[in-house]
Structure 1
Amino acid sequence: MSEALTWSGLDLQWAYSDVLNRISRHTFCKHKAFDILQDAIVYFAVSRSPYRDTEPQAYLNGIVNNLLVNQYRQEVKFVPYDEVALEESTTDYSPEQLYETKQKLFYLQRIVDLLPEKCRQVFWLFHVDGLKQKEIADKLGISLNMVEKHMIRAMLDLRAAKQKLL
């Protein structure tokens, strides 16, 4: 029977067989799976968590799960160009539909423009620039609680505007 190949308490044979296969099932790509596993092992190597030594396999699984979530979030941010081009080419709008859509967008822009300045900035940074609430608070020099209140105010105003439009 062969001796297990271990490193820092981590069974590398297990990592490169079981964990790699699990990652491959999630990513549908062996190359992405290798990248994620390599990243996980690097994070494992530089970690100073006590769980790294006491439960190395569970700790590596946790790192892999977090990396899979991050990879999924990154993928959903982008739409392949061919899907967008196909969607655009099959969509023909009548002049009336275009005018109606333009009017709705104009109305919504007016609602956003009428928000107080900080509220408008928070809304824009969150929904357009994609910043997290903590990043917005740091950037604008306000508390996280105020960011949440501004978001609620903006969403309530936009919801009321949407109900008027429909």
Structure 2
Amino acid sequence: MESDPLSHRLYATHRNTLVSYARRLCGDKGIAEDLVHDAWLLFHRQNNAEILAPLSYLKTIIRNLLFDRRRRSTFESTTDAPFEQAIGNVEVTSASPERDVAARQIMSRVMDAIDAMPERQRKAIRMYHFDGMKLREIAQELDISVALVHKLIADGVKICMQIRKEEL
């Protein structure tokens, strides 16, 4: 491998600073040393003549290597672990049964409110929010202006949001 004076000088001059930086990020001196070494190897392989702030760039490489290491560690801890242990690492995102019931009740009230709206407004809201149609397509279908479609939908959404706020 060719000698690169800039990367060698940078490593020799700032090694302790970089190890200290990495240690603050990960909390372990051994891992910090590994991160700095791996970062320098990556930096050394690149054409670093174009890098304006090499020390900052090295710190970015160190931080990214640490993120990769953590991500890999989390993945590895779940792939070989028994199901019960792996499931403990998965974040629970579902709401409680009570919140599920409350959300369904709110949705039911919102759907009842939409059904009670004037026919043109009800159709516009359903076409836009449920069928995924664009405003101009709805305007064409209902034979009204795009501005009126927008107003019908906006007014309907205000009613739905008011119902939602009342329930919360």
TM-score normalized by the length of structure 2: 0.42
TM-score, structure 1 length as denominator?
0.42
